[in-house]
């Protein structure tokens, strides 16, 4: 029963590259090193195979928490943003395909947006903590700032492979985004 996993993996790779329409069963079978018939015997249909693919891609989307209470915002956020960036970057090709097929295959919607709310909440709570502790401007527009930070991470993961010169060097990016974010909610730089 090792075929099942090889097919799932291969289907994920092929789907990320070519989308649902372009991911032919022939291609997937070849990529998995498996006979095409085995694919149908195992999953029944192409549609069912991709449901299984999206289901298993589910697990890898757990989001890390942020410390409560905050101790060193710049440091803590930089690490968190770096991890988040990496996570989105890994999901990038599959995410893009899923989004581009939203109209035709609405069932991928929750895969595509999954996690965004949670991420928003984590960052908002953390920032609210900073406000309560008097370390962030209580009049700051935390909601907009958080939205911008999340969009920046998404935009970086999505756009960097296409136009790298539009983004800070990858090793500096998380810290620089975080610094801008902190300034925008009125947290003084720690160094």
Partner DNA sequence: ACGGCAAGCAAGTAGGTACTTGCATACACA
Partner DNA sequence: TGTGTATGCAAGTACCTACTTGCTTGCCGT
Q: Which residues bind its own copies (CB under 8 A)?
A: 17-19, 21-22, 96-97, 99-104, 109, 112-113, 116-117, 120, 140-141, 143-145, 147-152, 154-156, 158-159, 162-163, 165-168, 173, 176-177, 179-181, 183-186
- Cβ atoms of 26 and 36 closer than 8 Å: yes
- ∠ CA 41-44-49 to the nearest 5 degrees? 110
Rounded distance between C-alpha atoms, residue 160 and residue 165, angstroms: 8
- 140, interface contact from DNA, its own copies, none, CB < 5-8 Å by kind: its own copies
Shortest reach from residue 16's CB to its own copies, in Å? 9
Beta-carbon contacts of 96 under 8 Å, excluding residues fewer than 6 positions away, are: 158
Q: Which is nearer to DNA, 100 or 131 (CB)?
A: 100
Residues composing the chain: 191
Q: Which stretch binds DNA (CB under 7 A): 38-46, 98-106, 114-122, 125-133?
A: 38-46
Q: Which is nearer to DNA, 34 or 94 (CB)?
A: 34
Helix H, strand E, coil C: the string for 35-55 is CHHHHHHHHCCHHHHHHHHHH
- Residues of the shown chain interacting with DNA in the complex, contacts defined by CB under 7 A: 1-4, 23-26, 33-38, 40-42, 44-47
């Amino acid at each position: 029963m090792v075929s099942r996993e090889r097919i799932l993996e291969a289907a994920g790779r092929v789907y990320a590259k070519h989308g649902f329409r372009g991911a032919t069963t022939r291609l997937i079978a070849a990529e998995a090193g498996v006979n095409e018939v085995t694919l149908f015997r195992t999953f029944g249909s192409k549609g069912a195979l991709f449901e299984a693919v999206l289901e298993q891609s589910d697990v890898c989307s757990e989001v890390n928490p942020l410390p409560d209470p905050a101790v060193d915002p710049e440091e803590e956020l930089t690490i968190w943003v770096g991890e988040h960036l990496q996570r989105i970057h890994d999901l990038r090709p599959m995410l893009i395909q899923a989004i581009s097929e939203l109209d035709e295959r609405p069932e991928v919607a929750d895969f595509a947006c999954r996690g965004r709310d949670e991420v928003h909440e984590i960052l908002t709570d953390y920032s609210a903590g900073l406000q309560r502790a008097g370390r962030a401007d209580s009049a700051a527009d935390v909601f907009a700032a958080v939205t911008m930070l999340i969009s920046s991470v998404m935009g970086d993961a999505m756009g960097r492979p296409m136009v790298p010169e539009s983004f800070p060097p990858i090793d500096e990016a998380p810290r620089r985004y975080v610094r801008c974010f902190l300034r925008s909610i009125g947290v003084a730089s720690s160094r």
